[in-house]
Structure formats: structure tokens, C-alpha cells
Amino acid sequence: MAAREEDVTEGGRAGCIGSVPATDAVGSWGRTLALALGAGALYAFRLDLPAFFDNEGRYADVAHEMLQLRDWITPRLDSTLFLNKPPLLYWLTAGVFELAGPNEWARLVSVAAAVVTLIAVCRLGALLYGAATGVLAGVLLATSLGFGLEARTLRPDGILIATVTVAVLCWWHAELADPARRTRWLVGLYAALATGVLAKGLPPVIVAAVPIGVATLRQHGLRGIMRLRPGLGLAVMGAMVLPWHVAVSLRHPGFAWDYVVNQHLLFFLDKKLPRDSIGDPLLFFWTAFVLRALPWIVLVPLAAREGLAALRPRRSTAEEATLFVWVWMLGVLGFFSLAPSRLEHYALPAAPAAALLAARGGMRLVRGDVGRGTWGVLAVLALAIAVTGGLFLGLREKLFAGAYWITQVPDLPPLIVPAGVLLLATGILATPAALARRGGAFIAIVCGAAAPMLALVLVAQARAEALFSWRPIAQVVIQKVPPTTEVVFEAPDEYQIVGGLVFYAGRRITLLEPPGFVPPTYLQQLAGDMFLHRADFTRRWQSGEPLVFVSDSQQRRDTADGLVPPPFRILAHFGDRWLLTNVPAAN
């Protein structure tokens, strides 16, 4: 790999990495750590709000049960085998539970992953383009909407983003290092990927392999594959990944086939059984990526020309670096676009690449290295932001009047006013900055608005807790349902979301059998005792045996009619979730 090229703002230096003065390197590291740790501290503010949402509750319950049983090999959900995911997130979450108790502060795992990602992005940006661009990439990533939300979400995707970014950074260092150091950097590459595999399965390997493989072939041809030391990679990854996988395979027959074939290959093809998730439409997948990359997605196209220039026979090191980052971002999006089972958050590993491209485009703005048309587009976008803010303020009474789920949370509509004021002020300030072609001022204005906008989104999440978390239902169960009364849970598609209810209620929940459920191979011998049949439930309900029924019908219901046989009594209702009982009210 050719050596990097410094930004003009760094003095226009070109040449090898060793040509950068040590004082510059120290200063860059200081800014990087200050940014990453400062962002982490802000992400960690009030991590207890909101309560765990559906998927978070699942991971929290598995970790809690693992901690209670002191069984670090076998994950369990609602006291039943749950081998769909690797164990790293459970281990880390259980560690936080051990120190801080079973609560939402377990999200510190995701905050820590975000800090690692920010450090890696800053260092990678400095390696590719110079220290100033690297720090800017970290700032843009830290203030992007999707990354900020993921940093406060307990699921393995934050670890996936971090490990892929660290792997790419290690590979780039390996390409520039002497043979002795190259081996150490390659060990770091494979150790990072192995960590990702323990958190998310094979996706981190595939995501990292696309840009690294393309760049290796471009630079060295087919013989370049041996530069990656595949034998070393197998040894490092095998030592880290195999022990848990082998232990679970020996302890639970059927796991190996389900994990490798069902959870990876068949899931990618949308043929996995049981059918407990529905893939997102392609347009929604790409739209969600754009929304998560706001507001800095607008700067990404400014790096397009430089990336295309790398396709020429004569190309600079900066052009080659930019093409590499484009392949990284588009490789993630393209790979998952091919999967019918894609979910919108699968695009998250592209976020660091988008931030690097946005930073490269942002530095062009700062230098004034863009045409009149670009400034015009930015001015129009800024004006559109101002108009949107004005509409929020002018139509605040009617804007979401017909939105069913918003009407369920009366505390949400008041947030329209501060959101409108923020958008209006941002647009008013950014429009003249774009017209005056002041790139630094434009970026500073938008950056200053991005952080409070993320804060508003987090406040909205907290206020909408009752719609997306099981804690409110669990609190009613604790208060009104005797420990001896059985609680039956119904979810038509994804029974695993019961984890949040189990975690917050602190009791075993009986699962009503989903229609057409086909158990994974490792559960085939246990499925008969795992669910309560609908006919048995109906008989027991009508017989007068005290029962409580929890429904997550995942569709709008104005009444509870049809969920259970009459008569029934409503104990609680939050959005589409109902808590019913066949026990008459006390006189």
C-alpha cells in the first residue's frame, strides 16, 4: 500500500508516515482521546432512560440468567435454551450486572464500543489523510444520529462496528509496516475480527473482507492474498472463537447445524426456520442508512470525484485511500442489499466509512475546493431545514394528529416546539454561511445543532418508553398479579421479545405457542415443553383457573376483543400491548 498523503491544512506534506513530526502525532492522539472520551461521557448521561426496549430486554435477560446460574457456556432466555447468538455481549453485560446490578447501565458496553470506534476512526482518518481530517471524521461520526443512538442501545451491533473499524485500521497499518511489525498488526486484525465473531457471528468477517480484499487485489494481485497470512488468521481466530463454539456443540446437539446453516446461510436467503423476523424492503433499508447518517450524509458526495479518480492508471495515495473507503461503505450496503432478510440496522458497519468520506468532503469545504453548484445545493438544503422548522412550529397542532402511536404518548407532541426552533435556527444560520462559501462556519453550525437534536431524540425515546419497553407492563404484573398466578405471553412472530418482560418482572413467563412454529434443531427435543398450546390455554382460561395474559399483537387494536375468550378484565394497556386476566375484580 502506498504511503499516505497529508491534507493541505496539515501543510501540504506528502510522503511516508514517518515524515510526520512526533509532536503532531502526540497532539493528534490527545485530540482523539479527548473527543472519544468526551463523547462517551455524553453518551453515558442518564443511561437508565429509557428502560430496555424489546431487543435490549432479550439480551439483558439472557445475561442476567447467565449470571444467576454462573453458566458462561449456555445462554438461556426465560429459562430455555437460546443459542441464536454468540456469547460476547452476554458476557460483557453480565459483568456490568455483577458490578452495578441488573439495570440499564449495562448499556455501558455499547458506550465503550462507541469510544473504541471513535478512536479507531480518528486514527484511520489521520493515517489516510492527516490528523485534522481524522479528528473531523471522529466529530462527524460522534454527532451523527444513528451512531449516537446505537451507542446507547444494548445489542451486539455496536461491538460489530468497533471490531470492523479496528480490523480495517490494523490492516492499513500492516500494509505500511516493516515485516516485523506487519505480523503484529495482522494479529491485531484477526483478533479484532474474532472478537466481532464472538459478538455477531460471521458478518464482521464478511464486512471487513470486502474492502480489504478489493484493495489487496488492486495493489498486489492474486499473490497479495498471501500477504494477509491466512494461516496466521486461522490460528488467531480459531484460538479465540472455537472454544465456546465447540463447547456448546458438544453440550447441545443440533447447535452446530443451526448456527452455521440456519442462522447464517438460510437466514441470509430468508429461508431460516422459525420465521421470527421479516426483512425490510430495499428502499427502506437505504433510507434508514441515510437517516442514521444525518446530518453529515450531505458531505459524503463531495468525496465522490476523488474516489473515481483512483480508477485511473495514475493515481495519488489520497485517491486510492478514498476509493478504499467508498468500497467499504458501498460494500456493506451492497452485500446486505442482496439479502432478502436484511434489517435496517445491518447498515451500521458502514457508518465509520461514511464519516471518513464526509470528513474528506468537509475538508474540501473548509479549503473552498468545491464549485459554485455545491455551495448552491448546500444553501438550498439549509433553507429547507429552516422551512421544515417553520412548518413544525406553524403546524404543531396538526402535524401528528393522525398518528395513532403518537397519540398514545401525550408527552411527545410538546417536543415539536424545541425541534422546530432548533431546525429553524440551524437553517437560518447555515444558509448565509453556505452562500458566503464559509465551509468551516457551515460545518460548525450544523455540528452545533446535531448534538441537541440527538438529545431531543433521546428524550422522545424516554417519553415513548411505554410503547417499546416491557417495564410498564412488568410493573403492573409485580403490583397486581400474585406470584402463584401463571402469566401467559403471546407474540405472533418473535417469541424472544418476552425477554424484557422476564427481566423486569423477575419471574418465569409461560409462552403461548406461535402459529406454525418450527423449532431450531437444538430445541427440537424441548419444544414440546417450551410452549402452551392454544387449546389448552383456552380450556384453562374458560375453566376459571386464575391466569394472566400478555399480548404483543404488533398491530393496532382499539379493544382487546378476540385476544382471549370472554369474559376478561383489562389490567393495563400500553399501545398495542395488553395485560388481561380472567379473575373478576374484587368487590
- Chain-wide mean pLDDT for the chain? 90
Same domain assignment for residues 402 and 345: no
Residues 361 and 417 placed together within one structural domain of the fold: no
pLDDT category at 17 given cuts 50, 70, 90 is very low
Same domain for 182 and 149, yes or no, is: yes
Range of 401's domain? 384-464
- pLDDT at position 20: 38
Mean pLDDT of 433-451: 94
The answer on 188 and 264 residing in a single domain is yes
N-to-C CA span, the chain:
80
Percent of the chain with pLDDT over 70: 93
- Report the alpha-carbon distance of residue 114 to residue 39 in Å, rounded: 9
Task: Round to whole Å and give the CA distance between 263 and 246.
Answer: 16
Chain segment 539-571, per-residue pLDDT in tens: 999 999 999 999 987 777 788 898 999 999 999
407, 432, 464 - which closes a domain: 464
Q: Please state whether beta strands 547-552 and 486-490 pair in parallel, antiparallel, or not at all (unpaired).
A: parallel
Of the residues 430, 449, 464, the one at which a domain ends: 464
pLDDT of residue 477 exceeding 60, the answer is yes
Residue 50 maps to a domain: no
- Mark out the alpha helices in 436-564 (DSSP H runs): 439-463, 465-468, 471-480, 498-505, 527-530, 534-543
pLDDT bin (cut points 50, 70, 90) of residue 167 is very high
- Residues 338-375: pLDDT tens digits? 999 999 999 999 999 999 999 999 999 999 999 999 99
Which of 400, 434, 464 terminates a domain? The answer is: 464
Instruction: Establish if 375 belongs to a structural domain.
Output: no
pLDDT at residue 491, rounded to an integer: 77
The answer on 474 and 456 residing in a single domain is no
Residue 121 lies in a domain: yes
In a domain, 567, yes or no: yes
Cell of 348: 451500521
- Spatial distance between the Cα atoms of 226 and 471, rounded to a whole number of angstroms: 52
Q: Are residues 205 and 298 in the same domain?
A: yes
Q: Are residues 430 and 547 in the same domain?
A: no
Residues 6+ apart with CB under 8 A from 341: 267, 268, 269, 270, 272, 277, 279
Total residue count of the chain as it appears in this document: 587
The set of long-range contacts for 210-213, using a CB threshold of 8 Å and a minimum separation of 24, is 210/327, 210/328, 210/331, 210/332, 210/335, 211/168, 211/324, 211/325, 211/327, 211/328, 211/331, 211/353, 212/167, 212/168, 212/171
Q: What is the pLDDT of residues 383-432, one digit of tens each?
A: 999 999 999 898 877 777 666 667 778 888 889 999 999 999 999 999 99
The whole-number pLDDT of residue 267 equals: 86
Residues 344 and 400 in one domain: no
Q: What is the pLDDT of residue 405?
A: 66
Query: What's the whole-number mean pLDDT along residues 98-127?
Result: 97
311-316-322-328 Cα dihedral, nearest 10 degrees: 60
Cell of 484: 402463584
Q: Is residue 401 part of a domain?
A: yes
The candidate with the shortest Cα–Cα distance to 60, out of 13, 8, 108, 3, is 108
What confidence category does residue 27 fall into, taking pLDDT thresholds of 50, 70 and 90? low
Do 345 and 417 lie in one domain? The reply is: no
- Do both 334 and 453 map to the same domain? no
Same domain, 352 and 437: no
Give how many domains the chain has, as a whole number: 3
pLDDT over 50 at 12, yes or no? no
| CB contact at 8 A, 86 and 119 | no
| Residue 65 located in a structural domain | no
Is 428 found in the same domain as 537?
no
Instruction: List, edge to edge, every strand of the sheet that includes 486-490.
Output: 531-532, 510-512, 486-490, 547-552, 577-581, 569-574
Least confident segment among 9-18, 87-96, 157-166, 494-503:
9-18
Q: Do 189 and 227 contact (CB within 8 A), yes or no?
A: no
Cα-based distances in Å from 278 to 155, 274, 494, 555: 18, 11, 10, 15
| Position 48 in a domain | no
Nearest to 134 by CA among 455, 449, 454, 362: 362
The answer to the question of residue 427 being in a domain is yes
Q: SS3 for 403?
A: coil
